[in-house]
Amino acid sequence: MRDDQRKKVLITGASGLLGRAILKEFEVDGSWECVGLAFTRAKGNLRKVDLKDVGAVRALVSEFRPTVIIHSAAERRPDVVEQQLEASRQLNVVVSQNLASIAKEFNCFLLYISTNGVFDGKSPPYKPSDVPNPSNSYCIFKFEGEKATLQTLPKSSGVLRVPYLYGQVENLAECSCTALFQAVLNNTKSKSVTDYGMRYPTLVDDIAIVIRQICEKALSENDFRGIWHWSGSEALTKYQMTKIMAEVFNLDFSHIKPASEPPTGAKRSNNSQLDCSDLMKLNFGRHTPFRVGIQECLRNFVNVS
């Protein structure tokens, strides 16, 4: 393939958990020219840009001329959002609005990554057409980011909502799922882990496949637009996930007890299961079993003889 025939993708948040997997998926066969953006963790080929600097982002888009922009960057920790409301609104809402305006100016398809937290958890599973009712500031801002994207670029954007993510991490604390493994490893201390609230842990590599499939279909079909859902298929509490982590490495679990009280901190819904049948009907995606995916992600953090 000649260079000028290659599709071009710009990925925000490419140093993050999901963004790293997206970049890897688009780089896999050379058919896409990729630029990944990062901020505090910019290294290697990642370009450093503060997304709040709208002039710098516009200049970058003007220089690279992407066909697709995937907006994965966000402040995604609900408790941090509650503590830093204005800074988080700037990143999760204002940056998304600005990016949509830039994508419109340069005629790009924009895919905005959102969360199942836009739903209140009262009547799962949720279809893409169901009406959101977010219950904490993070989810309110993510929903505002969705609306800004779709309203600014109705003919050339989409939203992909995903639930609780896990993947290859730089350290266990990087993601809330792999952080649970710290309690398993630290077996000199008894620990309670919440057994309340269904999560649908989803491997970021599986989501990256779906994202690439969405972008390729959106480029070839002008009416493939709108809101989509993708989710892992297993309903697990954090306690159940922790138990599986111990089982796959034959580690002691007797020091971990289930806690049935809702966790403290920002309000989270109890079960915001996403209905992903629209994408499944298209044969999109992959569902890696949690047991298989998590073993691969944690392998480097355990000494198993």
Ligand X SMILES: NC(=O)c1ccc[n+]([C@@H]2O[C@H](COP(=O)([O-])OP(=O)(O)OC[C@H]3O[C@@H](n4cnc5c(N)ncnc54)[C@H](OP(=O)(O)O)[C@@H]3O)[C@@H](O)[C@H]2O)c1
Applying CB under 6 A, which residues contact ligand X?
Answer: 13, 15-19, 38-42, 50-52, 72-74, 76, 91, 113, 115, 142, 162-165
Q: Which is nearer to ligand X, 164 or 239 (CB)?
A: 164
Q: Which is nearer to ligand X, 48 or 286 (CB)?
A: 48
| Distance of closest approach, residue 199 Cβ to ligand X, in angstroms | 9
Residues 6+ apart with CB under 8 A from 9: 26, 32, 33, 34, 35, 66, 67, 68, 69, 70, 215
Pairing state of beta strands 7-12 and 32-38?
A: parallel
> Which residue(s) pair with 113 in the sheet?
160
| Distance of closest approach, residue 133 Cβ to ligand X, in angstroms | 17
Contact (Cβ atoms closer than 8 angstroms) between residue 61 and residue 35: no
**Rg of the chain over all Cα atoms, to the nearest angstrom:** 19
| Distance of closest approach, residue 22 Cβ to ligand X, in angstroms | 9
Torsion of CA 84, 152, 129, 95, to 10 degrees: -20
Q: Which is nearer to ligand X, 128 or 255 (CB)?
A: 128
| Distance of closest approach, residue 53 Cβ to ligand X, in angstroms | 8
Distances in Å between the Cα of 107 and the Cα atoms of 6, 31, 41, 165, 179 are 16, 20, 29, 30, 40
Q: Which is nearer to ligand X, 46 or 244 (CB)?
A: 46
Per DSSP, the three-state class of 230 is coil
Q: Taking CB positions, which residue lies at the least distance from ligand X?
A: 16
Q: Which is nearer to ligand X, 171 or 192 (CB)?
A: 171
| Distance of closest approach, residue 247 Cβ to ligand X, in angstroms | 22
| Distance of closest approach, residue 145 Cβ to ligand X, in angstroms | 8
Contact (Cβ atoms closer than 8 angstroms) between residue 196 and residue 263: yes
Sequence letter at residue 45: N
Contact (Cβ atoms closer than 8 angstroms) between residue 197 and residue 263: yes
Q: Which is nearer to ligand X, 208 or 251 (CB)?
A: 208
